[in-house]
């Protein structure tokens, strides 16, 4: 599970399919109609544009909160964020789909091979990798970060429990922290603040990931995984049987409150990074911060009842967050356009 969300692809999209076929099916409603539009070669402007559109469609369908936040970015940045999301969703589908019944390890290995080829500059007719590789090259994103992400995705195929929070952090380094650092060059730290912005970006990824874990306890357990550290389960006297519901027992609620405190610490450490970004990126990151933090707030308001209901930020509040940050995004966009025109 990545920090970018865990909404499963509809069963019809994946049954016995490869990740590539799953992505083609998932993006079909928003892509060019007809099979030719889904299988066109992706080397050239038309193919690359189609790949970016498929990434955008994946983002819109499966990452709705963060997608809403990305609408606050200048369009030229937005498509690169969609590309990173599309790639992460692509890999996540292999390891997390309830309905994919093929060889997951083989499918992930195939993806890793195709990623390496795309990053090496080889042509590809894959539905999303041309956009991802183009974004990686455009912003000098480290291949080591891509490899770290894929290692965490591979761990999800075999590792189902974590003994301590430090062990869990090791997994989240690849599944979440590197997502934040891969996003960073797209979001543009201020000149000279690149190094200072890196740790807050990591912390924001960790905060988002831990929020997902708390919201999705039942869903993850249905996949055979428990992302709550075993040491913490023991500390609060929580058995895995207690996490199967139908309601969250008191000892599990105390455990979740403890983990929510950890998530809040990550959010606090991430907050200092927002002023280090170029002004046109700040509203997007602030909105994502508030939207994901809002999920944690809903969990808290529900008394940590996560088994009987899935925490969601109410639509009215999501729109209020978006509208509030839209004003700042438009003002920053106008300032940056004016500077671009005036500076030779």
pLDDT tens-digit readout, 61-103: 998 888 999 999 999 999 999 999 999 998 998 998 766 778 9
Q: What is the pLDDT of residues 244-298, one digit of tens each?
A: 989 999 999 999 999 999 999 999 999 999 999 999 999 999 999 999 999 999 9
Helix, strand or coil for residue 216?
coil
How many whole angstroms separate alpha carbon 145 and alpha carbon 128? 18
179 and 37 in a common domain: no
205 and 311 in a common domain: yes
182 and 154 in a common domain: no
pLDDT at residue 162 is higher than 70: yes
89 and 22 in a common domain: yes
42 and 14 in a common domain: yes
Distance of CA 123 to the CA centre of its chain: 26
The CATH number of the domain holding residue 323 is 1.10.600.10
In DSSP terms, 189 is beta-bridged to 277
Say what percent of the chain tops pLDDT 90: 77
Q: Give the structural domain span for 115.
A: 1-158
Contacts within 8 Å (CB) and 24+ apart, 261-266: 262/165, 262/210, 263/207, 263/210, 263/211, 263/214, 263/296, 264/296, 266/203, 266/204, 266/206, 266/207, 266/210
- Whole-model pTM: value is 0.85
Q: What is the pLDDT of residue 259?
A: 98
| Range from 36-40, 99-103, 310-314 carrying the lowest mean pLDDT | 36-40
148 and 278 in a common domain: no
108 and 168 in a common domain: no
172 and 51 in a common domain: no
Average pLDDT, the chain: 87
Report the number of distinct structural domains present in the chain: 2
Helix, strand or coil for residue 250?
helix
89 and 168 in a common domain: no
135 and 232 in a common domain: no
189 and 114 in a common domain: no
């Amino acid at each position: 599970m990545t920090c970018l969300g865990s909404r499963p692809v509809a069963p019809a999209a994946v049954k016995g399919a490869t990740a590539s076929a799953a992505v083609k099916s998932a993006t079909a409603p928003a892509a060019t109609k007809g099979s030719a539009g889904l299988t066109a070669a992706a080397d050239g402007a038309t193919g690359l544009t189609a790949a970016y559109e498929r990434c955008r469609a994946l983002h819109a369908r499966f990452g709705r909160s963060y997608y809403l936040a990305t609408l606050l970015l200048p369009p030229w940045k937005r498509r690169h964020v969609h590309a990173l999301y599309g790639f992460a969703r692509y890999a996540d589908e292999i390891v997390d789909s309830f309905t994919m019944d093929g060889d997951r390890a083989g499918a992930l290995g195939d993806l890793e091979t195709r990623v390496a080829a795309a990053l090496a500059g080889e042509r590809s007719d894959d539905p999303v990798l041309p956009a991802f590789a183009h974004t990686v090259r455009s912003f000098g994103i480290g291949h080591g970060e891509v490899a770290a992400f894929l290692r965490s995705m591979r761990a999800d195929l075999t590792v189902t429990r974590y003994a301590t929070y430090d062990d869990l952090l090791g997994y989240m380094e690849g599944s979440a922290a590197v997502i934040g650092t891969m996003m960073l060059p797209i979001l543009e730290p201020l000149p000279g603040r690149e190094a200072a912005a890196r740790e807050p970006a990591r912390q924001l990824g960790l905060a988002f990931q831990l929020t997902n874990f708390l919201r999705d306890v039942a869903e993850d357990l249905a996949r055979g995984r428990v992302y709550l550290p075993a040491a913490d389960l023991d500390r609060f006297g929580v058995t895995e049987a207690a996490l199967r519901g139908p309601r969250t027992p008191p000892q599990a609620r105390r455990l979740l409150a403890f983990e929510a405190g950890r998530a809040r610490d990550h959010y606090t450490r991430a907050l200092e990074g927002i002023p280090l970004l170029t002004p046109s990126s700040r509203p997007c990151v602030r909105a994502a911060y508030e939207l994901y933090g809002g999920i944690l707030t809903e969990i808290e308001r529900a008394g940590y009842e996560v088994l009987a209901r899935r925490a969601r930020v109410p639509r009215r509040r999501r729109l209020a967050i978006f509208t509030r940050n839209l004003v700042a995004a438009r003002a920053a966009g106008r300032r940056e356009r004016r500077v671009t025109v005036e500076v030779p």
